[in-house]
Amino acid sequence: MKGAGKPGAKTGGTGGIITLTTDFGLADPWVRMMKGVILSINPSLSIVDVTHEIPPQDVNKASFFMASIGRYFPEGTIHVCVVDPGVGSGREPVIIQTERCFYVGPNNGVFSTLDSRVKKSVVIKSRRFLTAEVSATFHGRDVFAPVAARLASTPVEEFGPALKKLVKLDRPRPRRRKDGGVSGEIIYFDRFGNAFTNIKKEMLRTAGAARAAVTLRNLEVRGVSPFYRAVPKGTPGAVINGFGLLEIFSPDGNALEEFGLKTGDRVSVGRARKRPR
C-alpha cells in the first residue's frame, strides 16, 4: 500500500485501505465530506467506494454487503458501513475486529454476519478520535470517518470499552426436509433481476444438484445449470452464483420482471418429479 507502513507499524496492521458502504447516494455531499475528513487526517490512506446505493435505511441489504466483503479485500482492511437510521439516538457506534479485518459503523444489525471470528469489539466512546463538534445527524462524517482514519494507526482498545452485545438481524434460514430436499427463500435481487436464494451450494451437493428440480411459485426448473446460456431464452434457470448461493435467472433476461418473483418467495429443491406440470 502506498504510503502505508508495515503491518504493526504506523498503520496498526491495517494496510491503509478503507472501504465505504453507505445509503447516502452520490447526489448529496455526504460521501465527499467523509472522504475529506479521512484524507485530512491521513492522506496516505486509500479509499475504496463499495457502494453508496444501499436503499435508504435498508439495514438488511447493508448487512448482506458486509457479510461477504471481508474475504475479498486484503487482510487488515477497514470496512466502514453507514446505514444508520438511528443516528444520534441510543444505538452504539462500534468497531469490530475479526481475524481478518476491521468493521466500523452502527451496532444496528449491519454486522450480523462477518467474514470470520470476532477477536475484539468496542463501543466508540473516546471523544479525542472524533471531529471537534459531533452533529446529531451525521455520524458518518463526525464519528465513523475520523475513527476509521485513526484506526489505521491506533489499537482498537483505545477507542472505548468492550462491546457487550453485537446486534444481529433475524435471518430466514434454509432447512433440509425429511424427504431429503431443501426449502429456502429468495433473499435478494441483483441489478439484472437475478434472484438469490438463501440455499448454499453445500446443501445442494447432497441433494444432487444437476438432477434436482427447483420449484417456486408456479415455476419448475429442471436441474442446476453450469452457466446462464445453458437454458433457452425465456425459460427460468438455476445456477450456483458467485456467492455460492442457488440463484434463479432468465438467460439474457430479467427473472424478477419476467416471472413476477419477489423477496420471501419460497424455493424448494427436490428430486425431479416424473411428470412436472
Question: Applying CB under 8 A, which residues contact a second copy?
Answer: 1-3, 15, 17, 19, 23-33, 35-37, 39-40, 43-44, 46-54, 56-57, 64-65, 68-69, 72-74, 77, 85-89, 135-138, 141-142, 190-192, 225-230, 239-242, 247, 252, 254
Nearer to a second copy, 183 or 200 (CB): 200
Q: How far is CA 84 from the centre of its chain?
A: 15
| Rounded Cα gap, residues 9 and 132, in angstroms | 27
Nearer to a second copy, 215 or 225 (CB): 225
Minimum gap (Å) between residue 178 Cβ and a second copy: 31
Residue 5 CA: distances (Å) to CA of 13, 47, 153, 233: 8, 16, 9, 52
Cβ atoms of residues 185 and 229 within 8 Å:
no
Task: Report the chain's C-alpha Rg in angstroms.
Answer: 21
Minimum gap (Å) between residue 129 Cβ and a second copy: 17
Q: What is the four-CA torsion angle of 170, 75, 101, 86, rounded to 10 degrees?
A: -70
Minimum gap (Å) between residue 85 Cβ and a second copy: 5
Tally of CB atoms within 10 A around 7: 12
- Which triple of cell numbers denotes residue 106? 452502527
Minimum gap (Å) between residue 4 Cβ and a second copy: 8
Nearer to a second copy, 72 or 218 (CB): 72
Minimum gap (Å) between residue 238 Cβ and a second copy: 11
Beta bridge partners of 102: 78, 97
Nearer to a second copy, 88 or 274 (CB): 88
Cβ atoms of residues 96 and 111 within 8 Å:
yes
| Rounded Cα gap, residues 24 and 229, in angstroms | 36
| Rounded Cα gap, residues 62 and 23, in angstroms | 8
Q: Sort strands 219-222 and 78-82 into parallel, antiparallel or unpaired.
A: unpaired
Minimum gap (Å) between residue 144 Cβ and a second copy: 13
Nearer to a second copy, 183 or 208 (CB): 208
Nearer to a second copy, 85 or 180 (CB): 85
Minimum gap (Å) between residue 41 Cβ and a second copy: 9
- Which triple of cell numbers denotes residue 232? 433457452
Minimum gap (Å) between residue 210 Cβ and a second copy: 12
Nearer to a second copy, 91 or 183 (CB): 91
Q: Within 13 Å and on the Cβ side, how many CA atoms surround 242?
A: 6
Nearer to a second copy, 51 or 183 (CB): 51
